């Protein structure tokens, strides 16, 4: 009987594209489009610029694109930077059961590698699906104790996902794949303590780079323990107070974790999302002008207040965990995107004034995924909305069109000059594309466009 | 009151060279000479070659030497490879209280950085001493629970040592140093499960590289938590079942962990060392020919049998944990160096025959650091030796001359063509050297010499 690491390696190596259900293939495209939007939105963030300032002079040949930018770096550094770009806005996807953000570490490594190791679109999609499966199953095996202990689970498990996906693209054999997972295990790291600093997205970059490196090392027969996950001194036992190893191997190939993936319509704490939905709905249905509002009462699950009951956020980052800010911004701006979590928006006098009129009330009858909002106008009129499940939840997923819209908004926020239509079309037909490297290339601005952007 | 991370950062930043005791400065030179020998002995190991085969095409400009080799890589990859070279033979130093091998991660990062950031010999020694102090104090704080949980402590703590040392060389300010330690914390990784595979020395390389990177990032104001070590979700609490944070900051500058550093005379499990000492002593004193031996009886602490009671090792690696092999090799070859732990030596008929005549007997009266050996010759003569403390123990340290001899033997084993005399002289006067980069340069073979070596 082989161990868990070896069984998982065999599954990844033996998996065939025609064994992947159609809806999972489509979900992979949705995940990649959502991810690419996040990267275009974040690629000029100060965190990305700072990391590049530190790394640039030590980087290797210009092998792979930095998404949305003109520079090219070696594939390991490109994986790192692209993971930072696509995670820095806190707008990437979520595997709700584990709170892993599955696409960032896997896709960042894979898309960089695809510029070095020729692959078709279908091969990249297939490797991506297997990478997500790997990291999410390992995450499930150690949840919730691992995350509760302080581990940044997207990083600690993401390194396995990146290794598995890149190992698949590199056509590792079973033993090499076992080593790749073992090398991933011994590199697994990342503390939740880093949330709120640049090291939060760095954790993702580190996972993407190290997972890719694990696969590259294994491809040259660099050995590791063959029981990196399950051994008494392996990942699961050392990094988690408890674990259920069967969750890694049980029913492999019969179910796919990508089916459980959720996309955020708003770049803030997910528990606030139904409140934002309700506010936007009220504003739209009743054409409510912000200065006509007397007060906004939100009725929420107790957890929402606990996590996001901050009536006076001081920064954009704090506003992401302020139900009051989210409600005020939704009514004033009619949209809750990246711009609504800038410091400028937080200090906007109209937002500040309306935020003071928002109350948040615990209501034990309201579920964790639901919210009620009552708005009272100065003329005495009252309107109510109740949202049982937020947009982006598994019960009410973002549509393909929603994800396209989000992509366009993020590309615009990042002042991307790429042709959004081209990128979207490329992705929906990605399983028929011969050269997967086209994906990264479509995001690169022309020299002229970049000159204009930089001059602004 | 500042937190532990900030206090440690302040100590590192404010430390002055004239505050370092003379004997600690000298110990730093001894540690570096021992380390450099290990690197020259290991720099052509298959583990190093395999890592290079995987990394070479992605590496950056030729900024730093690979010790004992002609190639140059970017400083991050040079730090990684040099750490693998200097650890792969299991011959590097040991901070006995924590079982951290302190020099590898710190020196590998620092010597690479010194080729990029100009530094004097004294500055490098100073940074090295502070790096060792940092990793060992953090190690003490989480010992023994952290290691017992399965963490490869040299890697998990070494990343802090490398960050501190490189941060000192880069002249980080207090806040940047705090970030460097935080970025080290979130990268801290490495499982003991990897022992016996190439990923064991890789753990060291990963720590050296990531510690250097942490310092480079912090130098550009890349932020992290400022409580990376002590926060509830920080390194100490997440990676150890218990910790004593006072061990990190108590008496900083009043005592130096480098004073507790030990050097191995033999590249095998440290518990066997007194047995080897006794065998070599008997062989030398009585001019015992191997084929005159009827039997060898070793009297050892129970732990020695538990860890190394393997009468029939199959490989060089297994022989490192075989008291029988070590005793036989000592009598036959009169030395126990790297060559005595090759597969060839393990299968040498004379060694096999004598190994079968070695018995190991538990003797509760023998201390953990001691051993007795009784040898009975075929003519009936008996000789006894008792070693209370092995060579290389803190009670009976290797002399400077011993370390020089070890350096020469390792350089010869690695077929180094460097001038050992020059390297040794350079190190003993290193505090007066203007350009610390000279250290790495002296180990690089000439093109002709390398051609000859490769042709052999």
The torsion of the CA quartet B405, B408, B414, B419, rounded to 10 degrees, works out to 170
Could you say which residues of chain A have pLDDT below 70?
1
What is the pairing mode between strands A293-300 and A358-362?
A: parallel
The answer to whether the CB atoms of A199 and B182 lie below 8 A apart is yes
pLDDT, residue B455, reads 77
pLDDT of B205 strictly over 70: yes
Q: Are residues A248 and A277 in the same domain?
A: no
If we measure between CA atoms, which residue out of B379, B372, B182 comes closest to residue B291?
Answer: B379
pTM equals 0.95
CA–chain centroid gap for B194, Å, is: 17
Number of domains comprising chain B: 2
The answer to whether the CB atoms of B186 and A203 lie below 8 A apart is yes
Running DSSP on this structure, what letter comes out for residue B445? P
Q: Are residues A240 and A321 in the same domain?
A: no
pLDDT, residue B247, reads 98
Judge whether B227 is closer than 8 Å to chain A, CB to CB.
yes
If we measure between CA atoms, which residue out of A190, A57, A159 comes closest to residue B216?
Answer: A57
pLDDT of B317 strictly over 80: yes
- Closest-CA distance of chain B to residue A429, Å: 31
Nearest to B186 among A54, A182, A189 (CB): A189
Q: Are residues A275 and A372 in the same domain?
A: yes
- Lowest mean pLDDT, pick from A135-139, A361-365, B250-254, B292-296: A361-365
Q: Are residues A281 and A258 in the same domain?
A: no
Last residue of a domain, one of A387, A417, A448: A387
Q: Are residues A91 and A153 in the same domain?
A: yes
Nearest to A58 among B53, B75, B228 (CB): B75
More confident residue, B364 or B43: B43
What ipTM does this complex have?
0.95
Last residue of a domain, one of B236, B262, B288: B262
List, for residues B90-141, the tens digit of each pLDDT value: 999 999 999 999 999 999 999 999 999 999 999 999 999 999 999 999 999 9
pLDDT > 70: percent of chain B? 100
pLDDT, residue A368, reads 86
- Closest-CA distance of chain B to residue A278, Å: 35
* A:39-98 residues touching chain B, CB 8 A cutoff: 47, 50-51, 53-55, 57-61, 63, 74-76
Beta strands, E only, B48-189: 64-65, 72-73, 94-95
Residue A397 lies in a domain: no
Q: Are residues A183 and A213 in the same domain?
A: yes
Last residue of a domain, one of B333, B353, B387: B387
List, for residues A372-431, the tens digit of each pLDDT value: 999 999 999 999 999 999 999 999 999 999 999 999 999 998 888 888 889 999 999 999
The answer to whether the CB atoms of A60 and B58 lie below 8 A apart is yes
In chain A, what residues touch B150 (CB-CB under 8 Å)? Answer: 232-234, 237-238
Q: Are residues A81 and A224 in the same domain?
A: yes
CA–chain centroid gap for A158, Å, is: 11
Rounded mean pLDDT of chain B? 95
Examine residue B22 and say whether the peptide bond preceding it is cis (omega within 30 degrees of 0).
no
Give the mutation candidate from B45, B62, B199 for the A interface (greatest A CB count, under 10 A): B199
pLDDT band at B1 (very low <50, low <70, confident <90, very high): low
pLDDT, residue A1, reads 63
Query: How far is B375 from A48, CA to CA, in rounded Å?
Result: 67
- The angle subtended at Cα A367 by Cα A366 and Cα A368, nearest 5°, is 125
List, for residues A300-327, the tens digit of each pLDDT value: 998 888 888 999 999 998 999 899 999 9
List, for residues B212-238, the tens digit of each pLDDT value: 999 999 999 999 999 999 999 999 999
* Contacts for B276 with CB less than 8 Å, ≥ 6 apart: B265, B266, B268, B326, B327, B330, B336, B390
Judge whether B206 is closer than 8 Å to chain A, CB to CB.
yes
Running DSSP on this structure, what letter comes out for residue B393? S
pLDDT, residue A452, reads 78
In chain B, what residues touch A206 (CB-CB under 8 Å)? Answer: 186-187
Per-residue DSSP letters for A415-448? T--S-HHHHHHHHHTGGG-S-TTHHHHTTPPPHH
Q: In Å, how far are A112, A233, B35, B84, B353 from B337, measured between CA atoms?
A: 44, 30, 15, 19, 20
- Closest-CA distance of chain A to residue B274, Å: 29
Q: Are residues A361 and A283 in the same domain?
A: yes
The answer to whether the CB atoms of A151 and B53 lie below 8 A apart is no
Examine residue A144 and say whether the peptide bond preceding it is cis (omega within 30 degrees of 0).
yes
pLDDT, residue B426, reads 96
* A:179-198 residues touching chain B, CB 8 A cutoff: 182-183, 185-194, 196-198
Nearest to A59 among B60, B190, B202 (CB): B60
Place of tokens 């590898």: B104
Residue A306 lies in a domain: yes
pLDDT, residue B16, reads 98
Kindly state the tokens that stand for B378.
């075929």
Domain harbouring B333, CATH code = 3.30.1330.120
Nearest to B191 among A199, A219, A234 (CB): A234
Judge whether A127 is closer than 8 Å to chain B, CB to CB.
no
The answer to whether the CB atoms of A50 and B220 lie below 8 A apart is yes
- Mean pLDDT for B35-54 is 97
What is the pairing mode between strands A358-362 and B382-387?
A: unpaired
Q: Which domain holds residue A356?
A: 270-387
Residue A162 lies in a domain: yes
Contact A244, A23 (CB under 8 A): no
- Closest-CA distance of chain B to residue A56, Å: 9
């Amino acid at each position: 009987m082989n161990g868990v690491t070896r069984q998982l390696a065999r599954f990844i190596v033996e998996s065939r594209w025609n064994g992947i259900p159609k809806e999972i293939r489509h979900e992979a495209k949705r995940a990649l489009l959502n991810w690419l939007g996040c990267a275009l939105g974040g690629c000029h963030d100060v965190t990305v610029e700072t990391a590049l300032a530190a790394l640039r002079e030590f980087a290797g040949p210009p092998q792979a694109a930095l998404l949305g930018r003109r520079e090219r770096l070696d594939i390991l550094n490109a994986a790192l930077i692209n993971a930072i770009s696509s995670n820095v806005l806190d707008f990437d996807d979520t595997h709700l059961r584990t709170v892993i953000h599955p696409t960032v570490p896997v896709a960042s490594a894979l898309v960089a590698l695809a510029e070095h190791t020729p692959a078709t679109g279908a091969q990249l999609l297939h490797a991506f699906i297997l990478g997500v499966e790997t990291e999410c199953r390992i995450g499930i095996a150690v949840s919730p104790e691992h995350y509760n202990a302080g581990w940044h689970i997207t990083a600690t498990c993401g390194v396995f996902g990146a290794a598995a996906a890149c190992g698949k693209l590199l056509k590792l054999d079973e033993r090499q794949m076992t080593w790749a997972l073992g090398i991933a295990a011994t590199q697994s790291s990342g503390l939740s303590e880093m949330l709120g600093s640049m090291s939060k997205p760095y954790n993702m970059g580190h996972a993407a780079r190290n997972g890719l490196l694990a696969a590259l090392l294994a491809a040259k027969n660099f050995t590791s323990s063959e029981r990196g996950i399950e051994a008494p001194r392996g990942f699961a036992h050392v990094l988690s107070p408890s674990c259920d190893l069967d969750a890694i191997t049980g029913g492999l190939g019969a179910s796919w974790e990508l089916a459980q993936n959720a996309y955020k319509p708003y770049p803030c704490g997910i528990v606030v999302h139904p409140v934002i939905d309700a506010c936007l709905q009220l504003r739209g249905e009743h054409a409510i002008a912000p200065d006509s509002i007397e007060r906004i009462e939100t009725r929420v699950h107790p957890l929402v207040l606990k996590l996001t009951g901050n009536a006076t956020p001081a920064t954009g980052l704090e506003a992401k965990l302020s139900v009051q800010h989210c409600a005020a911004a939704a009514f004033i701006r009619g949209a809750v995107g990246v711009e609504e979590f800038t410091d400028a928006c937080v200090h906007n006098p109209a937002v500040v004034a309306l935020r003071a009129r928002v109350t948040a009330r615990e209501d034990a009858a309201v579920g964790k995924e639901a919210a009620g909002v009552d708005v009272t106008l100065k003329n005495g009129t009252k309107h109510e909305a109740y949202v049982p499940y937020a947009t982006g939840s598994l019960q009410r997923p973002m549509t393909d069109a929603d994800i396209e819209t989000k992509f366009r908004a993020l590309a615009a926020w990042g002042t991307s000059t790429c042709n959004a239509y081209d990128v979207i079309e490329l992705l929906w037909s990605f399983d028929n594309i011969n050269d997967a490297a086209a994906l990264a290339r479509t995001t690169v601005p022309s020299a002229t466009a970049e000159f204009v952007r930089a001059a602004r």
